Structure 1
Amino acid sequence: MKEADDFNAVLKESINVDFEVEQQSRYFTSFGVQRNPTIGDGNCLFRAISVSLYSHQNNHLQLRNLAVDTLRGLFQNYFLEGRGTPEEQINVLSQPNTYAGQESILALSMALNINILVTFGSDTLDNPVTTYENTFSDGEQP
């Protein structure tokens, strides 16, 4: 019985992911943009931004380093308690293949003076696609 429950849970998750991808693709199409696949290796945030800026994923390590340098300089108080000191958390983030989060999105937005849009959602019919704008820009965009 446990195996059947596990299989059903995996199947349901797969269906939800497919539905989410389909709904997000429609959402993107309505704005004239398309989904660009990135490698999900922990560098995916930096790869996605590299594609947006340079039309390829190859600058992901440079963008990670930029985020880390910005965090060291300006975001010392941004990190969560109970996960080590801010410096320890930044040191973990500086390692390739380490998943990044909101802290890196905000740091890159500030360092590059760009808006970064993050889209998610629509894994169910009652959960719409949502896009959040992350910006620390100081005016006109490049």
Structure 2
Amino acid sequence: MRIGIGSDHNAFDMKESLKEHIRGLGHEVTDYGCNDSCTEVDYPEVAFRVAGDIAEGKLDRGILVCGTGIGVAIAAGKVPGIRAALCHDTYSAERAQKSNNAQVLTMGAQIIGIELAKQIVKVYLESEFPGGRSARKVQQIIDKERQFLQAR
């Protein structure tokens, strides 16, 4: 899979570790920054770029990390068509994909450690959306988003 990864300065070290971990799992990784832990970076721009490239079909999924994972989840979810899921455990990561077809996984580097983050990423990337009963629920989300966008 083609995976986009990005972070702010608070999660730079986690992003770097996850980038190598994802490559080790056999995926192609594109790094959207940030590029060091010293230069302050606003997470919305990174999240918008990753989510935008997923929406345009340039990436299959995204992994975003910031201090808590909340900000990048909110920002990525503002891109039309994107479902971002904040996950700090493997069960939620699996369900993000299997129940919600979430294209973006977010995590907080100040909340969880790197080894747990690696496990979460592995489970998320190994999980597939099976459709079934969940497909109708995901479609309801897609339809409502389209309705809101058309109303503008």
Is the TM value for this pair above 0.5? no
Higher strand share: 2
Larger Rg: 1
TM-score when normalising by structure 1: 0.34
